[in-house]
Structure 1
Amino acid sequence: MTLRHFQIFLYVHDEGGMTRAAEKLHISQPSVSQAIREMEEHYGTKLFERLGKKLFLTVAGEELLQYARHIAGLVNQSESAMQDFADGSPLRIGATLSVGESIFIPLLDRFRKICRQRVYSYIHNTATLEKALLNDELDLALVEGNIHSPYLKEHPFMADELVFLAAPHNPIPRTISDLSQMPFITREVGSGTRELFTRIMTEQGIKPKIIGTYNNSESIKQAVMAGFGIAVLSERVANHELAAGKLSKFDIPGISFTRTFRIVCHVNKYQTPALENFIDLCGNFDDYHRL
């Protein structure tokens, strides 16, 4: 039996007849009949029976159907997997700065060890990544900000907590009222961190005094450590400075910044085995990271 036999068998079943199967396959009806006859001779049993004008599977045909579909599925998977190597196209993965500065590199490192697929990585804010996904410039993005396009689908994979940060030697605000008087250093408009910060401040009736806007967390941390002001960043990106005593985190009663890192891709994006592997890796990141 050849793959062609199984393909014809599936088309005859799905189309309910040999004539329509032949039309779909762009071959002659006698060629379809011959393939089915060869299969029945090979297995020594009838695979179809005719009732009226339509063909139906026999009990033996029903049994063979599951194997035929499994074989066809494996062929499709192998074609997709081999295409990744044939065209040399890298998996294009984007990440926001918050993701990029905390978990992105460990994710890529783990992926490199379990998959031979080349990866092109791109780090920018949520708004820019959304545009790249819509323009098919990325296969997938890891974001924390809101996605607005109905043509993109999201899947949460990790919780993230933002904290207030200050220089250890600077006065630390204790109340919401105190916050209104403090100089803030923030991320740029379009970033998920800035979006969440603005929303929470608005909900609390606070109009923050923003004295600096930077497009990366490292510059913000340096400015805070120098005593220029306070900031709100993911605790993940400030772990080293907090552990070294270079930054202090503080709480304000009634205010919390909780968000979720999410996997985003186009609703029509075909998921290659490599892409599926990376998505699975994201979902199990905490388990892998503890290894």
Structure 2
Amino acid sequence: MDIQLFQTFLAVAKLGNMTQAASRLNFTQPAVTGQIRALEQHFGVLLFERVGKKLFITAAGRELISYAEKLMSAYAEAEQALSLHPSQINLGISAAMINHLMLPFLKKFQQQSPQCSVSLELCANASEVEEGILENRFDLGFIQNENTAPALTGFKLSEEELVWVIHPKLLEEHQHSSRLADYPLLSYRAGGLFYQLYEKTLGQKGIKATIEYSESEAMKNAILQGLGCGAMPLLLVRELLEAGTLLEFANVPRSTFSIWTAFHKNKKQSRAVASLLSLLQDGAKTSLS
């Protein structure tokens, strides 16, 4: 039963007038009459009697007052307790580089919802992220390329580029050769999206790596130490390229890939998740326009 019915009943009982109660509650007089009638029909008793233009509360109505007051008090306590209850959003990402993409969104979300905490978990691959959403461990997931699970939906968050980079000292050691084959190759482990992009650029037989990495942050550190050349998401090395700390192989084409957000089609999202999704959708419209 709607708690509002008891609030209306108490207002009518206190004021002894439905018109005045309607004015105080910002309802129409017929709406108040309808709510009182709904209570009477539910309990099977008359709560008020009208004699001429006067309204009189019945014995059943007087008895209901104490119960209605207890209900309203309990409701207010519950509302107070839950308003202070910390909310949390659980996110799953399929690659460490997605964390960098998320930073501006999370910063803005933190400003809008300071009481909500965010838990971000790095998964081995997109399939693990999708599984986490299906098992309700993650409210939202972020993966490279569109999700494949039928129960999930989502939208493209951004288009990113994979650029081939090298440390200037290593370039100098090899007489500034423009051939990738002349340098030690740092690669990603087989099976992931970045490895597939390597295959597209080099051909399957051209991937003869000296060191393989499972994620891009480790690759970046290795390139910065001069261990070899490799392909990096542009968003992770843009500042390093602008500063000249790393150099790009301009003659090697950049590969493109997408970052998608995913969530369950049939899960009712909390206000916090809905707020974060709204920020992400606005950001996607800006970046993809």
Q: Assess same fold via TM > 0.5.
A: yes
> In 2, are the aligned partners of 1:182 and 1:208 still within 8 Å (CA)?
no
Name the counterpart of 2:163.
163
Task: After superposition, give the CA deviation of every residue in 1:185-227 in whole Å (9 maximum; x if it has no partner).
Answer: 13344644334334x247x465311221223433212222333
> In 1, are the aligned partners of 2:164 and 2:254 still within 8 Å (CA)?
no
> In 2, are the aligned partners of 1:129 and 1:141 still within 8 Å (CA)?
yes
> In 1, are the aligned partners of 2:156 and 2:284 still within 8 Å (CA)?
no
- SS of the residue aligned with 1:280? helix
Normalised TM-score (structure 1): 0.61
- The amino acid across from 2:194 in the alignment is T
Whole-angstrom CA distance in 1 between matches of 2:236 and 2:138: 24
Name the counterpart of 1:184.
185
- 1:144 maps to 2:154: no
- SS of the residue aligned with 1:268? coil
Task: After superposition, give the CA deviation of every residue in 1:62-114 in whole Å (9 maximum; x if it has no partner).
Answer: xxxxxxxxxxxxxxxxxxx99975764411012321111x2222322211101
- SS of the residue aligned with 2:241? helix
* Aligned residues between the structures: 218
Cα pair distance change 1:190/1:259, threshold 3 Å: same
Name the counterpart of 2:131.
131
- 1:31 maps to 2:30: no
- SS of the residue aligned with 1:164? strand
> In 2, are the aligned partners of 1:160 and 1:260 still within 8 Å (CA)?
yes
Task: After superposition, give the CA deviation of every residue in 1:100-151 in whole Å (9 maximum; x if it has no partner).
Answer: 1x22223222111011322112223433323322322111022224533222
Whole-angstrom CA distance in 1 between matches of 2:96 and 2:239: 17
- SS of the residue aligned with 2:228? coil
Q: After the TM superposition, which residues 1-291 of structure 1 pair with which residues of structure 2 at under 5 Å, given as runs?
A: 31=41, 85=83, 88-95=86-93, 96-100=95-99, 102-115=100-113, 116-127=115-126, 128-145=128-145, 147-169=147-169, 170=171, 171=174, 174=178, 178-180=179-181, 182-189=183-190, 191-198=192-199, 200-201=200-201, 204=203, 206-252=205-251, 255-285=253-283
> In 1, are the aligned partners of 2:198 and 2:207 still within 8 Å (CA)?
no
- The amino acid across from 1:112 in the alignment is Q
Could you tell me which runs of 5 or more consecutive residues in structure 1 were left unpaired when the two chains were aligned: 6-27, 39-80
Cα pair distance change 1:145/1:182, threshold 3 Å: farther
Normalised TM-score (structure 2): 0.61
Structure 1 residue 234: Cα displacement: 0.7
Cα pair distance change 1:150/1:201, threshold 3 Å: farther
Whole-angstrom CA distance in 2 between matches of 1:213 and 1:83: 51
Whole-angstrom CA distance in 2 between matches of 1:85 and 1:206: 59
> In 2, are the aligned partners of 1:145 and 1:191 still within 8 Å (CA)?
no
Whole-angstrom CA distance in 2 between matches of 1:157 and 1:89: 24
> In 2, are the aligned partners of 1:126 and 1:145 still within 8 Å (CA)?
no
- SS of the residue aligned with 2:129? helix
Structure 1 residue 154: Cα displacement: 2.5
- The amino acid across from 1:242 in the alignment is L
Structure 1 residue 237: Cα displacement: 0.4
Query: Percent identical across equivalent pairs?
Result: 19
Task: After superposition, give the CA deviation of every residue in 1:212-259 in whole Å (9 maximum; x if it has no partner).
Answer: 122343321222233322111111101232233221112335x33112
Could you tell me which runs of 5 or more consecutive residues in structure 2 were left unpaired when the two chains were aligned: 6-37, 48-78
Whole-angstrom CA distance in 2 between matches of 1:99 and 1:196: 17
RMSD, aligned CA: 3.9
Structure 1 residue 283: Cα displacement: 2.5
> In 1, are the aligned partners of 2:146 and 2:156 still within 8 Å (CA)?
no
